[in-house]
Amino acid sequence: MVSPVVRLTARGVVARKFRILLTTLAVVSGVAFVSGAFVLTDSVKSAIDSLFEELRGDIDLEVRTTIAFGDEARGERDPVPLSLLPEISKIEGVRLVEANLRRSATIIKTDGEPLKVSGPAFGIAWNGPDGLDGRTLIAGTAPKGPKEVAIDKSSAKRAGYEIGDIVTIVGPTGKDQFTLVGLTGSGNTNGGGGASISAFNPNTANDFLGAQDQADSLLIGILPGFSLSDVQVSIEEILPSSIEVITGVQAAKEISGSINDVIDIFGKVLLGFAAISLFVSAFLIFNTFAIIVSQRLRELALMRAVGASTQQIRAMIIGEGLIIGIIATGLGILGGLGVAQGITALFNAAGAAFPTAGLTLSLRTILVSVFIGIGVTVTAAIVPAIRAGRIPPVAAMRPELGFSALQRNKRLVVGLTTLLFGITLFSIGLFVQPGGTIITLGSSAIGAVMLFLGVASLSTTIAAPASRLISRILPVPFRPMTRSVPGRLASRNAQRTPRRTASTASALMVGLALVSTVAVVAASVKKSFTEQLQSSVTADFFITNLSFQGLPVAFAERLDALDELGSVSPFRATRALVNGEEKQIGAVKPEMGDIVDVGVIEGSIESLAEGKLLLHKDPARDLGVGVGDSLDFTWQNGTTSTLIVGGIYTEAAVAGNWLISLETLSQASKAPPVDFFIGAKIADGVSIEAARAAVEKVAADFPSAEVQDQSEFQKSQEDQLNQLLAIVYGLLIFAILIAVLGIANTMALSVYERTREFGLLRAVGMSKRHLKRSVRWEAIIVSVFGATLGVVVGIPLGVSVAMALPDSFVTTTQIPVNTIVAILLASIVVGIVAAIFPARRAAKLDVLAAIATQ
Amino acid sequence: MTQVASHPAAAALNASKIYGKDDSEVRALDDVTVDFQLGHFTAIMGPSGSGKSTLMHCLAGLDSLTSGRVLIGDTDLAQLDDKQLTTLRREKVGFIFQAYNLIPTLTALENITLPMDLGGVKPEQEWLDTVIDAMNLRNRLSHRPSELSGGQQQRVAVARALASRPQIIFADEPTGNLDSKTGAEILSFMKHAVTDLHQTIVMVTHDPVAAAYADRVIFLADGKVVDEVNNPTSELVLDRMKRLGN
């Protein structure tokens, strides 16, 4: 026989299925978000793993220079001399040795414009389809002669070329024309995963790509019957110590591993937002259960009267949470597959090339989803269940005694304690930053959660007066709410159930507090950045690169030769170990001082020309060095230098924290240099128009370059920040949507509860319109209350985060008044939207039937 | 029919119940001593505010006294904690309320066996059949409360109260929500349960006609027992009520 508690629980869920539908939806969306993040990262990672295994399948061994530190796949390596190639070919067991060479090379379309690609634009050395690099020939022949090229099929198609056409390609050494002889693919695809690939025969590549008889690495295939490790050892014997030989499998793993690291970060960000959505869902679940328990007061009391124990009542309510949790988790996991597919499609439509090879639903994904989905639902049901257990049996006859039992609590004390504890933890995490990023983030996050819970709890105390205030000052549409009957009813109803009003509003509070936090931080970053740019940038032009690949060094050299321009300096970057920590080091010309005023407070920029180092005041303070002191650098290729500090500066927005000269860089690193961007100043007496025309003329030969003047540069930097912000807001929208769902849910439950009351109101002459209006205005009061709380909590949070950020990033705090006002106004819309369905339902009630309701 | 008259099923001894404090103090029960014999059908009557509901709530262990004692059988309710009170309600006491007697999501049969199910006790099938047939519910067992008439719902409530063969059944205005014909039907079912099935019922009512079904009527006013009538008729009860009113 089924236990009565189980039976009652199951029947309870079935009987209230429509009332808990929205709750279920909220959990489903939260779980879908979580499992979607896992499915997406798992799927993409496994696709990438197999892609690289396939692409590099023929490569048995790879010879490359070593790096001293950092990520193997992303490290900047010195090139390998081609002179090693014939020597390795002679080793027993070696079937084939190929030079691996890839440099940026842009295809010019038939209309004269550069071909834009979402990935990099590469020129490569290619030995043809029988080579080791996995590139296939789809049509035509492999390039043999010095003026021949093969292009990946999808890029050729997009650029408008067919075999036999003359193609203009811009490489590191300049522009040249080639005959298109073949179309290539990689693996079983037509392209290079969003990249454009121009393949030349190795000699042409060496000349046109400016490789100077050096290669990025050497790829080796071995003869059948020979042991891989034997051949590896034989090769190792002839290599100098700065050059290593690794297996192709390891190389593939390094590359896919480094891509997977990025995907993992992406997944973690998604999980973070999933956590926010779930947190907001928890409010909704809690609220639904609290309301349902009070609606079932007599039923629960009756059960107590006929012999149900407190524990049985509690088990029943928690059991209902469990059932909802199980159903919602199941649907959520399925939804996660959809989410993963949706995000992949979205990103691919936007140009990213996520490899798709089916969705991976791992056991871990299922377990985590189950744990989280059921955990959140059951946890949120605990407090309502405890309260339900307090309902005395006598409430079966005298319900008023039951309500007082439901309302007994120590909210003020608990709320205040939680709030203070949350603030403390949050501040410790942010300002003291104990023990690394994880603990800092963790304690800030837990602090924030407690802070939100504390505010949610305290908001019960102020819900009634706040509702009264909001209804007095909010004019709908031409006069204060309280001047009309529906307005008064709305206001009184919001005040009548302060606990419900508060917890409904709290869900919205969380979402909007985070939005305001982000808004404050973003505004501060923007303002700091703009201020720094304005005070430090003196360049007239900035030349940046559209595809993040950097600019060929020839560009800056040709700009330097222009009479129309004065000082020109490229900005390069490398990495080095300083005092055991990996640092990004910028390399510039000493003339950079005319382009960017970094605010030298000690020493001089000119000292760069003497091979000295310039650094920002923060690292100088941390390391305790001043002008004249020296620091030891270990470069990525393993060489070391001791550099003397020649100056200390204050503005890091453009130049970064560390600066050396181009000469110092070229002595340290033999990796092929690229310029991140170039700054230039107009020569005296030359008009801006004339200078721009001259720059544009050079830029025409470097199609991926974009010439910007000061304001354009500033705008493009801000645009990047805005894009990032748009993504963050987009992800927070989910949490806000769930909160809106929560308001709709509470209103629907309240309408259900007030059936008889609404019947009475209609019976004494209230029109449907007025009834609807009263429901709608109540929803508006709740959402404005929530939004106000959110803004009040979010602004100080944002200010604290902005203050905690390093000075090189944020120097001033700024509260974005427009955004805050927009949030508050939007909350009115939120209320209107949330009330649509409940208001319609209230208006539809049959008057007689409503009055007859118990 | 009342062979065990010397042994009370329940009793209140010097029972007092005070609500509120100081100025707003209300004596709902004022030193009430009364007992209810096994196998009897007793009605408690009195005007609104006389304390009749409070007396019943305290007798049934639903509410606690300010002073005095309540016994169910030999058990002193004041000695019991919430858990033991729950068990007592489940095993020794049956309830019939004025309205909202049934769990809407359970069938009639599931409602009837609910107290035993909650206690993990198997219902005694023979007795269950007797009760179901006595209440004439045989062909209504699989119906949900919403599919039953008001009278049928009350019969299910009576059956539930009887099903666990409790020491005593408390009924709070069991006919208050019913028309007089259905009300009379329920009362005769209850009377039948006492006379033929040897059960003990205490009923709170303000309806003299309902009270006339009882073996004995106790009158309460201002928290005190003021009168008592054995083998009442409705005229007799009405007459006493009128006198109380004056």
Helix, strand, coil distribution of chain A in percent, nearest 5: 60, 15, 25
Find, in chain B, the residue whose alpha carbon is nearest to that of A303.
Answer: B103
**How confident is the model at residue B193, as a pLDDT?**
87
3-state secondary structure chain B: CCCCCCCEEEEEEEEEEEECCHHHCEEEEEEEEEEEECCCEEEEECCCCCCHHHHHHHHCCCCCCCEEEEEECCEEHHHCCHHHHHHHHHHCEEEECCCCCCCCCCCHHHHHHHHHHHHCCCCCHHHHHHHHHHCCCHHHCCCCHHHCCHHHHHHHHHHHHHHCCCCEEEEECCCCCCCHHHHHHHHHHHHHHHHCCCCCEEEECCCHHHHCCCCEEEEEECCEEEEEEECCCHHHHHHHHHHHHC
Closest to A828 (Cα-Cα) out of A711, A707, A743: A743
The residue out of A227, A258, A289 marking a domain boundary is: A258
Q: Do A687 and A807 belong together in one domain?
A: no
Taking CA–CA distances from A308, the nearest residue in chain B reads B118
Please tell me if residue A351 touches chain B, with a CB cutoff of 8 Å.
no
Query: A420: part of which helix (H) or strand (E)?
Result: helix A411-427
Cα radius of gyration rounded to whole Å, chain B: 18
Contact check, Cβ <8 Å, A302/B103: yes
Closest-CA residue to A473 (of A785, A790, A794, A829): A785
Q: Please, which residues 1-60 of chain B have a Cβ atom closer than 8 Å to chain A? A: 53, 57
Residues A785 and A814 both lie in one domain: yes
Sign of the dihedral defined by the CA atoms of residues A570, A571, A575, A580, in that order:
positive
Segments of A650-773 assigned E as strands? 658-661, 677-682, 705-709
A488 and A580 in a single domain? The answer is: no
A595 and A663 in a common domain? yes
pLDDT value of residue A732: 82
Beta-bridge partners for B71: B11, B76
CA R_g for chain A? 33
Percent of chain A's residues with pLDDT above 70? 93
Coil vs helix vs strand at A139: strand
pLDDT exceeding 90 applies to what percent of chain B? 21
Among A4, A298, A393, whose Cβ lies nearest the Cβ of B89?
A393
SS3 A705: strand
Residue type, B180: S
Cβ–Cβ of B91/A307 closer than 8 Å?
Answer: yes
Task: Assign A723 a pLDDT band (cuts: 50, 70, 90).
Answer: confident
Question: What is the token pair recorded at A135?
Answer: 């590139």
Phi, psi at A97, each rounded to 5°: -125, 130
Contact between residue A199 and residue A153 where contact means Cβ atoms under 8 Å apart: no
Same domain, A687 and A723: no
Q: Which residue has the higher pLDDT, A176 or A409?
A: A176
Confidence of residue B3 (pLDDT cuts 50, 70, 90): very low
The C-alpha atoms of residue A701 and residue A555 are separated, in whole angstroms, by: 9
Q: Record the tokens describing residue A470, joined without a space.
A: 């909001």
Q: Which of A218-222, A354-358, A540-544, A709-713 has the lowest mean pLDDT?
A: A354-358
Sequential DSSP letters for A199-252: EE-HHHHHHHTT--SEESEEEEEE-TTS-HHHHHHHHHHHS-TTEEEEEHHHHH
Alpha carbon distance A246, A258 (integer Å) = 17
Do A179 and A136 reside in the same domain of the chain? yes
Do A796 and A666 share a structural domain? no
- Identify from B56, B70, B100, B103 which residue to disrupt to test chain A contact, counting A C-beta atoms within 10 A and taking the largest count: B103
Chain segment A303-321, per-residue pLDDT in tens: 888 888 889 999 999 998 9
Query: Is A119 inside a domain boundary?
Result: yes
DSSP strands (E only) in A754-824 = none
Q: Are residues A528 and A560 in the same domain?
A: no
What does the pLDDT read at residue B27? 84
**Mean pLDDT confidence for A593-606:** 87
Topology given in CATH for the domain delimited by B39-50+81-245: Rossmann fold (3.40.50)
Q: How many CB atoms lie within 10 A of CB A801?
A: 20
Q: How far is CA A390 from CA A643, A852, B151, in A?
A: 74, 30, 31
Q: What is the mean pLDDT of residues A800-825?
A: 84
Extract the tokens encoding A41: 């990262």
> What pLDDT score does A367 carry?
92
Question: Collapsing DSSP states into helix, strand and coil, what is residue A309?
Answer: coil
Q: Is the pLDDT of residue A651 over 60?
A: yes
Q: Establish if B118 touches chain A: CB-CB under 8 angstroms.
A: yes
Q: How crowded is residue A631: how many other Cβ atoms within 10 Å of its Cβ?
A: 19
Domain identity same for A650 and A720: no
Is A256:A101 a contact under the CB 8 Å cutoff? no
B7: pLDDT strictly greater than 80? no
A4 interface with B at CB cutoff 8 Å: yes
Chain A residues within an 8 Å CB radius of B89:
304-307, 393
Option in A5, A303, A393 nearest B103 (CB)? A303
- How far apart are alpha carbons A440 and A449 in whole angstroms? 14
Strands of the B67-72 sheet, one edge to the other: B26-37, B8-19, B67-72, B75-76
| Interval A817-821 mean pLDDT | 89
Q: Would you say residue A409 has pLDDT above 70?
A: no
Alpha-carbon separation of residue A409 from A66, A300, A406 (angstroms) = 67, 20, 8
Q: What is the length of chain A?
A: 854
Q: Over 90: is that where the pLDDT of A173 sits? A: no
For residue A14, the chain B residues in CB contact (below 8 A) are 105
Q: Are A106 and A704 in contact (CB under 8 A)?
A: yes
How far is residue A604 from each of residues A394, A539, A592, A608, A614, measured CA to CA in Å?
A: 86, 19, 12, 8, 8
HEC assignment per residue over A565-631: EEEEEEEEEEEEEECCEEEEEEEECHHHHHCECCCEEEECHHHHHHCCEEEEHHHHHHHCCCCCCEE
Q: Model confidence over A837-852: pLDDT tens digits?
A: 888 888 888 777 777 6
- A777 within some domain: yes
Average pLDDT of the residues of chain A: 85
**Joined tokens for residue A233:** 């050892």
Confidence of residue B239 (pLDDT cuts 50, 70, 90): confident
pTM across the whole model: 0.78
* CB distance A324 to A374 below 8 Å: no
Average pLDDT over residues A52-71: 81
Give yes or no: residues A612 and A585 share one domain: yes
CA distance A508 to A521: 20
On the 0-12 / 13-18 / 19+ scale of CB atoms within 10 A, B181 is: exposed
Residue B224 pLDDT exceeds 80:
yes
Residue A209: beta bridge partners? none
* Burial group, residue A393, by CB count within 10 angstroms (0-12, 13-18, 19+): buried
Token readout for A712 is 């354009």
In the listed set A212, A239, A258, which residue is the last one of a domain according to the structure? A258
Give the residue numbers spanning the domain of A201: 55-258
A367, A273 Cβ separation under 8 angstroms: no
User: Residue A801 has which token pair?
Assistant: 């985060």
Task: Give the pLDDT score at B246.
Answer: 56
Give mean pLDDT, residues A622-626. 89
Can you tell me whether residue A152 is helix, strand or coil?
Answer: strand
Spell out the residues 6+ positions from residue A678 whose beta carbon is closer than 8 angstroms to its own. A542, A543, A551, A555, A556, A559, A568, A569, A570, A571
pLDDT tens per residue, range A102-153? 888 889 888 888 887 766 788 999 988 888 877 888 899 999 988 999 998 8
Residue A257 confidence (pLDDT) above 70: yes
Give me the residues of A, 363-402, that contact B with CB < 8 A.
392-394, 396-397
pLDDT in the model for residue A435: 66
A135: three-class secondary structure by DSSP: strand
Nearest CA-CA partner of B193 in B160, B218, B216: B160
Cα-Cα-Cα-Cα dihedral sign, residues A12, A14, A18, A21: positive
Q: How far is CA A105 from CA A101, A102, A150, A549, A676, in A?
A: 12, 9, 13, 10, 16
Q: Across chain B, what does the average pLDDT equal? A: 86
Mark residue B23 as left, alpha or beta (left: phi above 0; alpha: psi -120 to 50; beta: remaining).
alpha
The shortest C-alpha distance from A366 to chain B (Å) reads: 33
Residue A638 belongs to a domain: yes
State the burial class of residue A471 (Cβ atoms within 10 Å of its Cβ: 0-12, 13-18, 19+): buried
A569 vs A767, more confident: A569
Query: Which residue, A325, A430, A288, is CA-closest to A798?
Result: A430
- The partner residue sitting opposite A310, judged by closest CB among B82, B87, B95, is B82
Q: Which residues of A touch B62 (CB under 8 A)?
A: 305, 392-394, 397
Hey, are the CB atoms on B95 and A396 less than 8 Å from each other? yes
Q: Say which of B57, B83, B110 has its CB closest to residue A394.
A: B57
The DSSP H or E segment spanning A64 is: strand A61-65
pLDDT of residue A140: 92
Cross-chain Cβ contact A8/B105 below 8 Å: yes
Q: Is B91 on the interface with A (CB under 8 A)?
A: yes
C-alpha dist (Å) from residue A827 to A243, A280, A501, A736, B14: 63, 16, 15, 10, 61
Domain boundary among A225, A243, A258: A258
The pLDDT assigned to A852 comes to 67
Higher pLDDT, B11 or A75: B11
* Tally of domains within chain A: 3
**Nearest chain A residue to B98, by CA:** A397
Out of A291-300, A694-703, A741-750, A767-776, least confident range? A694-703
Burial class (CB in 10 A: 0-12, 13-18, 19+), B45: buried
Q: Do B106 and A11 make contact, defined as CB atoms within 8 angstroms?
A: yes
Least confident of A187-201, A573-587, A673-687: A187-201
pLDDT band of residue B2 (cuts 50, 70, 90) is very low
Q: Are residues A770 and A828 in the same domain?
A: yes
Per the model's pLDDT, the better-predicted residue between A808 and A565 turns out to be A565
CA-to-CA distance for A808 and A221, rounded, in angstroms? 49
The pLDDT of residue B1: 38
C-beta separation of A78 from A669 below 8 A: yes
Q: B115 CB near a chain A CB, below 8 Å?
A: yes
Closest Cα in chain A, distance from residue B47 (Å): 18
- Asked if residues A777 and A55 have their Cβ atoms less than 8 Å apart, the reply is no
In a shared domain, residues A137 and A231: yes
Mean pLDDT in residue range A660-689 = 87
